[in-house]
Amino acid sequence: MIGGGLLGLEAARGLQVQGCDVTVVHLMDTLMERQLDLTGGSYLKAKMECLGVKVLLERNTTAILGNGKAEGVAFKDGSSVEADFVVIAAGIRPNVELGRKAGLQVNRGIVVNDYMETSNPDVFAVGECVEHNGTCYGLVAPLFEQGKVLAATITGNRGPVYGGTVSAAKLKIMGVDVFSAGNFAEKAPGTDAVRYEDPALGIYKKLTMRDGKLAGVILVGDTSESHRYMDWLRSQTDLTAMRRRLLFPGPADDAGLDVAAMANSKVVCGCNGVTKGAIIHAVHQKGINTLAQLKDCTRASTGCGSCTEVCQQLLKAVAPEFQEEAKRSLCKCVPFPEDKLREILRSQRLRSVQEVLEIYGNGVGCEVCKPALSYMVDMLWCGDHDEDRSARFINDRVHANIQKDGTFSVVPRIRGGVTSAKELRRIADVAEKYKVPMVKITGSQRIDLLGVKKADLPQIWADLGMPSGQAYTKGVRMVKTCVGTDFCRFGVQDSTKAGIELERRLEHLYTPHKLKMGAVGCPRNCAEATVKDIGLVGQEGSWQVVVGGAAGKKVRKADLLITVESAEEALQAATLFFQYYRENANYLERTYDFVERKGIENVRRDTVYAPLAIQQGLRERLRKSKRISRDAWLEGDAPRHPTQFVQIEPLPLREGRSVTVAGREIAIFNLGDHVLAVDGRCPHKGGPLAEGIVTGSTVVCPLHAWKISLETGSVTKPDANPACVATYRTRIESGIVLIEVPEPSKKIQETPLSCGEQNRAALGDSPSPSPGL
């Protein structure tokens, strides 16, 4: 790579990710000399060399060597390096030839005045081709300022003038955060600098001061205060009184960032010309309340990123519903973001859902936090925890996917989509024996048995003699494969073998959300690996590992994680990402949202390019989880409790059971000190309430999450129309549950009574329930 500027380093990193051995050669004595000084450049150079990129400075390239193709480059000092191909990113400069031929004044660029006029008053110029007061700008932000002045000039308003732009760049190079703005040179009279260095953390800060005001900034490794410095640069605030605190300013130094006092006409995002007023308009007129929504609506914060903090402050000030997405609490029951909760569980060694709820929550929980906490304690303690099956969704309690009619679907694991005649016969025999209503080939190369009764699940699993395909849970679903090299005439890698091995390594493990994978033997991509959560793409002599793809409601091409030479290296990279996702994603966050939130560069830095100790830690925790994992369908032979699959005593705590009393289907729930009973079906789509999650005295329908009060029968649903289900009086005598049902003539009244009043009217005042169970 000839050229160590911004574009050259970005290209070098991209080539390295593709599996190339990269050498960067640069004419100057430091990398990115327009954005960094010698010290800042040395920090960046050290990081690049840690990642395996060679850097040669002060090398003047004189020739590209080779006969008909590139074989290396030669330098002025007589040295050379070998190369298979050469990329040149040696900077840009204006092509002034057109202006010169037209008789315009040109230097390095086409010369313009403060009104964007050239030497010919009828010709105007803006952008990268112009030179203003001796400066050419190669960034987009100046174009917006120049364009506004030009618009005023050509419409007859010579009020606004262009006085130059404070150039700024905020970027991530080789995983290192870099911010540079203004003039960081110290040669001018009255100019000095304030510096801070921490080589161990890779942090370097330099503030250039002129006459007590900020003239330039360099930040490497920590750019968290870039917004503050940028505002001081633009406003030219006198900072003499706070010089001691310049490198580590606090909240009291935010006077320059008072968003309330900021004029509506002030440009917040210089890259895209977005003003404070435009942001306020978007919030009030379009209901914007997240930074992501603001980016989509206004394009603010989508350029260099230096305005992100100010955009967030504005949203906090004017959007009543604003919350930072990454810091939202898990739910109202547990007022902590998930990353904080994971820290709490580790530090306090909390090993049960109920423990967490009692110490850090409301003691009860809900359908949102209970499954999430169940996943966290299981993942963090690698199975060494107190399992509370009532905190899990019905699918995870019975290891099958509930259907709209209360039956279940069964999907056995068919690794890599490869099966046998023996397995197919067993599946067919099960379908006939248990009168399965539908047998369907799925899009993931598996077979789905639909309409199975809950009581039949254990025996079906036993008759199949195949492991669970986890089609019901947040876990590893499958690895879809193509034929690969076994039969395909185009295959260049054995994708079938690689896919089956990947599935074996990761099956039976839980994840924050369902996880689908693919492996293809050539770039034709017949198994759609590039739109999977994890994909292996075989190429001639190498494998690409891609992550974060989607082909459902959201369609997203996966990002390239790394390119490696062997299938085993690809499997190692895939499993590193898998465990990293397990440990760091929010519950119910798909990989495509996780990768977008984290950024693929950060994901690479934390996995395939992480220090060896970090990689070993991820692998060891994955191995530990895998060692204690087991096929969930083995619970058919040893149920967690007697009523897991069949309706017999005893009734588990905080779980439901469906019974028939006097011809009515009733759901009863054991809440510890008492039993509550309601109609067995949700009024929405007839979901089986006995299979729902119980939170306090509420049950959540397993189909569409309608909430039903077990005490009053009232229903909480998305629309505003009231609804309720019947409740029934219960009493326990000698361990027997008695349920009172109304006489056939006493139906629930269709009157504007409350749910409790309706149910009391139907049951009357008789204090003696008749034995129902």
Which pLDDT does position 744 carry in this prediction?
60
Residues 478 and 611 placed together within one structural domain of the fold: yes
Residue 478: pLDDT band (50, 70, 90) is: very high
Token reading at 234: 């633009």
Whether the per-residue pLDDT at 747 is higher than 70: the answer is no
Which pLDDT does position 252 carry in this prediction?
45
Residue 771: pLDDT band (50, 70, 90) is: very low
The number of beta carbons lying within 10 Å of the beta carbon of residue 382 is 16
Q: SS3 sequence, 630-663?
A: CCHHHHHCCCCCCCCCCCCCCCCECCEEEEEECC
Q: Whole-structure pTM over 0.75, yes or no? A: no
Q: How far does CA 723 lie from the centroid of its chain?
A: 37
Residue 112: pLDDT band (50, 70, 90) is: very high
Whether the per-residue pLDDT at 419 is higher than 90: the answer is yes
Q: At 319, which amino acid appears?
A: A
Token reading at 404: 């709209």
Residues 57 and 129 placed together within one structural domain of the fold: no
Q: For residue 23, is it within any domain?
A: yes
Whether the per-residue pLDDT at 638 is higher than 70: the answer is no
Please give the DSSP secondary-structure letter assigned to residue 41: H
Across the range 192-196, mean pLDDT stands at 90
The set of residues, in sequence order, having a beta carbon less than 8 Å from that of 311 and lying 6+ positions away, is 268, 269, 279, 291, 294, 300, 301
Secondary structure percentages of the chain, helix, strand, coil, to 5: 30, 20, 45
Q: Where do we find the tokens 């010919």?
A: 120
CB 6 within 8 A of CB 35: yes
Across the range 169-173, mean pLDDT stands at 78
Whether the per-residue pLDDT at 295 is higher than 50: the answer is yes
Residue spans of alpha helices (H) in 585-716: 591-598, 600-606, 612-628
β-partners of residue 82 are 72
Which pLDDT does position 720 carry in this prediction?
47
Token reading at 512: 């924050």
Q: For residue 496, is it within any domain?
A: yes
Query: Which tens digit of pLDDT belongs to each residue from 59-109?
Result: 999 999 999 899 999 999 999 999 999 999 988 889 999 999 999 999 999
Across the range 181-204, mean pLDDT stands at 85
Residues 33 and 102 placed together within one structural domain of the fold: no
Whether the per-residue pLDDT at 754 is higher than 60: the answer is no
Residues 625 and 663 placed together within one structural domain of the fold: no
Report which of 392, 333, 417, 403 is spatially closest to residue 635, judged by C-alpha positions: 392
Greater model confidence, 43 or 578: 578
CB 675 within 8 A of CB 732: yes
Which pLDDT does position 635 carry in this prediction?
75
Whether the per-residue pLDDT at 758 is higher than 80: the answer is no
Q: For residue 412, is it within any domain?
A: no
706: domain CATH number is 2.102.10.10
The packing angle between helices 369-380 and 338-348, to 10°, is 50
Across the range 339-360, mean pLDDT stands at 89
Across the range 503-522, mean pLDDT stands at 96
| Pairing mode of beta strands 675-679, 664-670 | antiparallel
The DSSP secondary structure of 421-484, one letter per residue, reads: HHHHHHHHHHHHHTT-SEEEE-TTS-EEEEEE-GGGHHHHHHHHT--B--TTSSBEEEEEE--T
Report which of 140, 143, 185 is spatially closest to residue 33, judged by C-alpha positions: 185
Residue 763: pLDDT band (50, 70, 90) is: very low
Across the range 7-15, mean pLDDT stands at 88
Greater model confidence, 83 or 189: 83
Among 369, 392, 415, residue at a domain's last position: 392
Q: At 168, which amino acid appears?
A: A
Q: Which element (helix H / strand E) includes 247?
A: none
Q: For residue 186, is it within any domain?
A: no
Please calculate the CA angle 694-699-700 and round it to the nearest 5 degrees. Answer: 105
Please give the DSSP secondary-structure letter assigned to residue 272: T
Query: Which tens digit of pLDDT belongs to each residue from 38-50?
Result: 999 998 998 888 8
3-state SS, residue 337: strand
Across the range 116-121, mean pLDDT stands at 95
Report which of 474, 478, 405, 481 is spatially closest to residue 448, judged by C-alpha positions: 478
Count of domains in the chain?
5
Report which of 724, 741, 766, 735 is spatially closest to residue 659, judged by C-alpha positions: 741
> What phi and psi values does residue 53 have, to the nearest 5 degrees?
-95, 125
- The radius of gyration of the chain from alpha carbons, rounded to an integer in Å, stands at 33
Across the range 519-540, mean pLDDT stands at 96
How many Cα atoms occupy the beta-carbon half-sphere of 720 within 13 Å?
0
Residues 486 and 583 placed together within one structural domain of the fold: yes
CB 291 within 8 A of CB 315: yes
Report which of 308, 299, 303, 362 is spatially closest to residue 330, judged by C-alpha positions: 362
Greater model confidence, 716 or 576: 576
> Among 189-193, 318-322, 361-365, which is the least confidently predicted range?
318-322
CB 436 within 8 A of CB 452: yes
The set of residues, in sequence order, having a beta carbon less than 8 Å from that of 255 and lying 6+ positions away, is none
The rounded distance, in Å, linking the Cα atoms of 679 and 468 is 32
Q: Where do we find the tokens 């540079």?
A: 180
Which pLDDT does position 170 carry in this prediction?
79
Across the range 470-481, mean pLDDT stands at 94
The percent of residues in the chain predicted with pLDDT above 90, rounded, is: 48
> What phi and psi values does residue 557 have, to the nearest 5 degrees?
-75, 135
Residue 648: pLDDT band (50, 70, 90) is: very low
The rounded distance, in Å, linking the Cα atoms of 448 and 253 is 62
Q: How far is CA 699 from CA 269, 631, 654, 677, 678, in A?
A: 48, 29, 10, 11, 10
Q: For residue 116, is it within any domain?
A: yes
Report which of 218, 219, 210 is spatially closest to residue 240, judged by C-alpha positions: 210
Token reading at 319: 């959007």
Greater model confidence, 369 or 385: 369
Across the range 197-209, mean pLDDT stands at 89
Across the range 599-627, mean pLDDT stands at 92
Greater model confidence, 37 or 168: 37
Residues 587 and 677 placed together within one structural domain of the fold: no
The rounded distance, in Å, linking the Cα atoms of 279 and 294 is 8
Q: For residue 267, is it within any domain?
A: no
β-partners of residue 72 are 65, 82
Residues 65 and 127 placed together within one structural domain of the fold: no
Whether the per-residue pLDDT at 256 is higher than 80: the answer is no
Residues 477 and 596 placed together within one structural domain of the fold: yes
Greater model confidence, 210 or 235: 210
Q: For residue 288, is it within any domain?
A: no
Residues 42 and 136 placed together within one structural domain of the fold: no
CB 599 within 8 A of CB 592: no
The number of beta carbons lying within 10 Å of the beta carbon of residue 765 is 5
Query: Which tens digit of pLDDT belongs to each residue from 448-457?
Result: 999 999 989 9
Q: How far does CA 385 lie from the centroid of its chain?
A: 27
The percent of residues in the chain predicted with pLDDT above 70, rounded, is: 90
Across the range 178-199, mean pLDDT stands at 86
Across the range 9-22, mean pLDDT stands at 85
Which pLDDT does position 306 carry in this prediction?
63
Which pLDDT does position 769 carry in this prediction?
44
118: domain CATH number is 3.50.50.60
3-state SS, residue 239: coil
Among 392, 426, 460, residue at a domain's last position: 392
Residues 104 and 75 placed together within one structural domain of the fold: no
Whether the per-residue pLDDT at 411 is higher than 70: the answer is yes
Q: How many DSSP H helices and E strands does the chain contain?
A: 20, 35
Query: Which tens digit of pLDDT belongs to each residue from 298-315?
Result: 888 876 566 777 888 888
Range of the domain at 66: 6-82
The rounded distance, in Å, linking the Cα atoms of 387 and 367 is 16
The set of residues, in sequence order, having a beta carbon less than 8 Å from that of 285 and lying 6+ positions away, is none
Round the average pLDDT of the chain to a whole number and report it: 86
Residues 527 and 487 placed together within one structural domain of the fold: yes
The rounded distance, in Å, linking the Cα atoms of 450 and 460 is 12
Longest CA span, the chain? 107
CB 629 within 8 A of CB 623: no
Residues 529 and 608 placed together within one structural domain of the fold: yes
Q: For residue 362, is it within any domain?
A: yes
The packing angle between helices 421-433 and 457-464, to 10°, is 150
Across the range 565-575, mean pLDDT stands at 96
